[in-house]
Structure 1
Amino acid sequence: MNFTKTYILASNSPRRKELLTNLGLPFQTRVKEVDENFPPDLVRAEVAEYLAAHKASAYRQDLQPEEVLITADTIVCLDEKVLNKPLSHAEATRMLTHLSGRSHEVYTGVCLMSLEKSVVFSDVTTVHFRDLTRDEIDFYINQYTPFDKAGSYGAQDWLGMVGIERIEGSYFNVMGLPVHRLYEELQTF
């Protein structure tokens, strides 16, 4: 693949950095603090896409002509409720207790932006958790401090390895970037 632009990843996520590196995409990282609130009338994929586009808008004025910005936001939805990043051990415990023994959806919204255009897309993966014990949940939170993860877990972490029975869709989407969709979109961007 011939990547001719300068790609900017607007994320500090080690998982997104790893995925772009494994894709073979040369990139630089830029990070700004961007508010992650969203309008309450948005649901599921709309939330992820809104947040990705919102993050990108914070960088637009700094883009150079040869640059393509990549922003992403991953959310976990259980029924119709969005589970954001937990603010405390107690909140992480509540989230993981609700996810235990159930399936949920993981949506990742992505925005590609240059000075000339922008494209926003998303992908969804259904994740099925087995029943988790309180000891497993406590161990995970104490050892892995998942406070930077939507839904209080990382699929690539210990809890993902022992708790996820199966997924329907892209594993990489659950990690925080639907690499297959990103690759497709970059072909025509």
Structure 2
Amino acid sequence: MLKEKLKAHKLILASGSPRRQQFFREMELDFEIRLKSVEEVYPKELQEKAISDYLAQLKASAFEGTLAKNEILITSDTVVWHNNQSLAKAKNAEEAFKMLKTLSEDWHEVITSVCFTTTTNQKTVNQTTKVKFKKLTDAEIHYYIKNYSPFDKAGAYGIQEWIGLIGIEKIKGSYPNVVGLPTQLVYDTLVDMT
């Protein structure tokens, strides 16, 4: 099992996301949380998975020169991609409303990239999941924003929250990926690395 293979290593999760931390606990992985502030800005010409790959690697670069030989740093980024544009985290309720309105009754992609960094190696993997919302009413969108304040989530929604439970019509791909971590891909990558 992976837990046995990881005994010689120390996993460092560089994420303040309670959802990602919970996934690591549920996968029975021992980890330490280390956070560094990074301005999440990327070159405008990047699209889709190139954005999330770049940002996951950028977050890893903040730890350059700080890792011990036995440590594996894990950084990640999630992008919501719709109509050839990235929907980042909403800054306010008005922006969140616009995002959810545009996602209503349409497909979008949720792309999560995960960067694994050691003192000698770096590997970035990503996964894409397609998600379709039903036609959301203005009242449903306003209710969700007021009661769930989804300002810490790409695309202004959490699939595991009320809006996901009542509004997601179809999903093609990994559910945990939409929550923020492609758990099966993370597990398999760690198996390959150790």
TM-score by shorter chain over 0.5: yes
State the SS of the aligned residue for 1:188. Answer: helix
Structure 2: which amino acid aligns with 1:7?
A: L
Normalised to the residue count of structure 1, the TM-score between the two structures is 0.99
Q: Does 1:185 align with 2:189?
A: yes
**Ranges in structure 2 where 5+ consecutive residues have no aligned partner:** none
What corresponds to 2:124 in structure 1? 120
* Deviation at residue 126 of structure 1 after TM alignment: 0.1
What corresponds to 1:107 in structure 2? 111
What corresponds to 2:67 in structure 1? 63
Partners in 2 of 1:32 and 1:46 — Cα distance?
22
What corresponds to 2:153 in structure 1? 149
* Deviation at residue 29 of structure 1 after TM alignment: 0.3
Q: List structure 1 runs of 4+ shifted beyond 6 angstroms.
A: none
**Ranges in structure 1 where 5+ consecutive residues have no aligned partner:** none
Partners in 2 of 1:144 and 1:79 — Cα distance?
25
State the SS of the aligned residue for 2:65. Answer: helix
Question: Which of 25, 31, 37 is the matching residue for 1:27?
Answer: 31
State the SS of the aligned residue for 1:95. Answer: helix
When the two chains are superposed, the root-mean-square deviation of aligned CA atoms in Å is: 0.6
Partners in 2 of 1:35 and 1:74 — Cα distance?
15
* Deviation at residue 116 of structure 1 after TM alignment: 1.0
* Deviation at residue 32 of structure 1 after TM alignment: 1.1
State the SS of the aligned residue for 1:92. Answer: helix
Greater CA drift, 60-69 or 47-56: 60-69
Structure 1: which amino acid aligns with 2:108?
A: H
Normalised to the residue count of structure 2, the TM-score between the two structures is 0.96
What corresponds to 1:80 in structure 2? 84
Partners in 2 of 1:70 and 1:119 — Cα distance?
10
* Deviation at residue 60 of structure 1 after TM alignment: 2.1
Structure 2: which amino acid aligns with 1:66?
A: N
Greater CA drift, 59-68 or 46-55: 59-68
Count how many residue pairs are aligned between Structure 1 and Structure 2. Answer: 189
Percent identity among equivalent residues? Answer: 43
